[in-house]
Structures are given as C-alpha cells and as structure tokens.
Amino acid sequence: MNTDLVTTTTTTTATTTTTTTTTKRWSKPTEIPRVRAVSSEEALPVSSTAQNVRAVWLWVFLLAVCSVLTLMKLVSAGANIAAFVNGRNFHVVLKCAQGDVVTHTAWLNRSSILYAGEDKWSVDPRVSLVALNQDEFTIKIENVDMTDEGQYVCAVQTSSRPRTTSVHLIVQVPTKIINLSRDVVVNEGSNVTLLCQASGKPEPSISWKLISSPGTLFY
C-alpha cells in the first residue's frame, strides 16, 4: 500500500504569483520487525543463576572465616612441613580432614583463596585438587619454590560453626657455593683476602680450613 504526500508552495512577487505543487510517493514497508518478549528465565541462564548463588554463599563463608582468623580462637595449628628444593620437581600435598557435617570448605594461603570446594580460584597451574570427599580435602603444589613458603589454612564450615586448621610450609634450599676466590700466590708476610660466598636456606655457615700437609688441618 502506497501513501501520497502533496506539498504546495506559493511564491508571490509584485507582479507575478507562482504556485508549485510537489507530489512525493512513500512506500509502506513490506516487512515490519517483530519484537518477541523474553522471559526472566531466558534472560538469566541457569548457569548464571547457579554462579550467583555460589558466589553468595562463598562470600558469606569467607566472611565467617575472616572473623575466625581475626579472633584466632578456633584455629588449630598443624605441624610444619619442610620442602627441600634441589632443582627437582618436588611437590607438597596439603590434606585437611572433613566430616559428614561439613557444608563448605576452602584452602587459603596469605588470605588468597586456592580452592573453594571443587572451584579453583588460584591462577597458578602448579596447584591442583587431589581429593574432595567426606573424609578429606586435599590439594597439591607442584615444583615448590621459595615463594610457596608460608602459612596455609583449611577453612571448614560445619553445621554449628566454622573450623580452621593451619599448616606452615618451610622451603629449604641446599647449600651451594656461588663465589670462591681463585688460587693466589703472595710473598711471605703479605696480606691476602679470600672470598667465599654461599647460598641456601637455612642460611649456611662458612668456615675456612688450612691444609698444611696430608692428614693435618689448621683452623
């Protein structure tokens, strides 16, 4: 269906009057866009809803954990774990006992979440989940280095109150001489400076020994 639009323009001068009529033809669109109503269920996928619910309980859980850690009254200190770094792929397994009444659980390090249940929060690819069941919540750290040293906390939400257990990871590095003076020749009575530098953790103790003859040592 077409619609005609007529426009008339009249111009008047002192001697002449001119009338101009213009006709424009407008075509009605043959197709009208259709708008479909979207329900709230379609607008918010089920996965997004689950994520929102999960985020809500997680934040509530972490607030409770932070309160407990601040009071430091319900923290059960575990044994220290010593890890030896000697160039090989040494890994550490952190195990936390669970129970039938546990509703939520998480592993934390320096106030950073490593795992909240089965959800991994750490971006470190060396951290992985080993087991999560009614008996234990265990994670593993591969290729341990000095940056991994510190306190790790397992936070457990039970039906009555939060419960936390901490363990301190100590990373030890074998002693290694990194700088040693070369052989020097000096005249008798002259002063000489010998240098020996070593690295390691715990900090190594350096001593010098003078070998005068086979089987005889001078300190």
- From residue 13, alpha-carbon distances to 20, 21, 147 in Å are 14, 18, 93
Structurally, the chain folds into a number of domains equal to: 2
Calpha distance 54→62 (Å, rounded): 12
The answer to the question of residue 62 being in a domain is no
Chain centroid to Cα 61, Å, comes to 18
Distance from C-alpha of 88 to C-alpha of 200, rounded to nearest angstrom: 16
Give alpha helix (H) positions in 92-159: none
Residues 152 and 191 in one domain: no
180 bridge partner residues: 196
Regarding whether 169 and 181 lie in a shared domain, the answer is: no
Are 24 and 9 in a shared domain? yes
Are 128 and 151 within 8 A, CB to CB? no
Whether 160 and 114 map to the same domain: the answer is: yes
| Residue-by-residue pLDDT tens, the chain, 219 positions | 544 444 444 444 444 444 444 444 544 445 544 545 444 444 444 455 555 555 555 555 555 555 445 444 444 445 566 666 665 668 888 888 887 677 888 999 877 899 998 999 999 999 999 998 888 889 999 988 888 888 898 888 877 777 888 888 888 888 889 999 988 888 988 998 989 999 888 888 998 888 776 655 555
pLDDT of residue 55: 56
Residues 156 and 185 in one domain: no
In-domain check, residue 61:
no
Residue 202: asked if its preceding bond is cis (omega within 30°), the reply is: yes
Q: Does residue 48 lie in a domain region? A: no
Q: What is the pLDDT of residue 80?
A: 63
Range of the domain at 110: 79-173
Q: Are residues 90 and 122 in the same domain?
A: yes
Is 131 in the same domain as 106? yes
Residue 70 has, within 13 A of its CA and on its CB side, a CA count of: 6
Identify whether residues 157 and 86 lie together within a single domain: yes
Q: Are residues 203 and 169 in the same domain?
A: no
What was the pLDDT predicted at 126?
A: 93
Closest CA to 125 of 143, 137, 108: 143
pLDDT at residue 9 in the model:
45
pTM for the whole thing?
Answer: 0.56
Residues 165, 195 within the same domain: no
Query: Is residue 130 in some structural domain?
Result: yes
Classify residue 140: in a domain, yes or no.
yes
CATH code of the domain in which 169 resides:
2.60.40.10
CA distances from 19 to 7, 10, 48, 161, 204 (A): 11, 4, 67, 92, 108
